[in-house]
């Protein structure tokens, strides 16, 4: 471990557990750091955008994505394999009468492999606490004004579960291919704090 927290009591405990696992042959020396680095390096919002674009253009893929996110993203070469375990991916589709938004109220659990490193606002205590209590107000602050009749569902991520929002396909995009459609999708749209 490096950086300013390497000498903290928690870092010392983590290093002790890693050393025990290495001594028993369950981990190779440095394996945890290597896996974390590889996992973080491979993540990009472009991955999530490609998944959405495929779902917008292929109804069968959309069905599979909503039924089993892990299996569907594997079809495109992506994985929810974490540093030590695979997280379950659940994908929720926004519709005319419903809107989904993702948060991790305890910390900042987030699908890094599909969205890249999490933005600062996602990790902030203000977002994590307020979006649960007042999702409509928080979305308004992000520039998302939804009709009063739109049901908003907040999904709380955890160490085992990650969530991805499938935004509604924008009107007037029928002639666009997957690559062009993917270019319309933002990380905020995949979290639910933007419409696309």
Burial class (CB in 10 A: 0-12, 13-18, 19+), 132: middle
Under a CB-based contact definition with an 8 Å cutoff, are residues 163 and 80 in contact? no
Q: Which candidate in 107, 118, 129, 161 is catalytic? A: 107
124 is catalytic: no
129 is catalytic: no
108 is catalytic: yes
Please name every residue paired with 27 in a beta bridge, in sequence order, or none if there are none. Answer: none
Distances (CA, A) of 5 to 9, 63, 102: 9, 44, 28
118 is catalytic: no
Q: Which candidate in 2, 7, 44, 108 is catalytic? A: 108
Two tokens at 41? 């390096």
Return d(Cα 114, Cα 51) in angstroms, integer.
9
Helix and strand element counts for the chain (H, E): 11, 4
Q: Which candidate in 8, 79, 109, 129 is catalytic? A: 109
Q: Which candidate in 104, 124, 129, 158 is catalytic? A: 104
| 3-class DSSP state of 82 | coil
Return d(Cα 30, Cα 156) in angstroms, integer.
31
Return d(Cα 24, Cα 59) in angstroms, integer.
48
By annotation, the residues acting in catalysis are 104, 107-109
């Amino acid at each position: 471990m490096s950086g300013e927290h390497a000498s903290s009591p928690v870092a010392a405990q983590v290093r002790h557990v890693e050393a025990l696992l290495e001594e028993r042959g369950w981990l190779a020396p440095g394996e945890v750091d290597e896996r974390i680095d590889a996992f973080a390096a491979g993540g990009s919002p472009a991955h999530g955008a490609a998944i959405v674009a495929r779902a917008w253009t292929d109804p069968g893929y959309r069905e599979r994505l909503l039924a089993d996110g892990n299996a569907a993203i594997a079809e495109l070469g992506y994985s929810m394999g974490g540093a030590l375990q695979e997280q379950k991916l659940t994908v929720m589709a926004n519709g005319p009468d419903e809107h989904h938004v993702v948060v991790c109220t305890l910390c900042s659990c987030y699908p890094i492999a599909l969205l890249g490193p999490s933005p600062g606002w996602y990790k902030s205590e203000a977002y994590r606490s307020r979006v649960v209590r007042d999702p409509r107000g928080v979305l308004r602050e992000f520039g998302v004004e939804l009709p009063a009749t739109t049901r908003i569902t907040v999904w709380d991520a955890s160490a085992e579960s990650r969530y991805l929002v499938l935004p509604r396909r924008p009107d007037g995009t029928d002639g666009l291919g997957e690559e062009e459609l993917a270019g319309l999708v933002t990380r905020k749209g995949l979290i639910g704090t933007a419409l696309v």
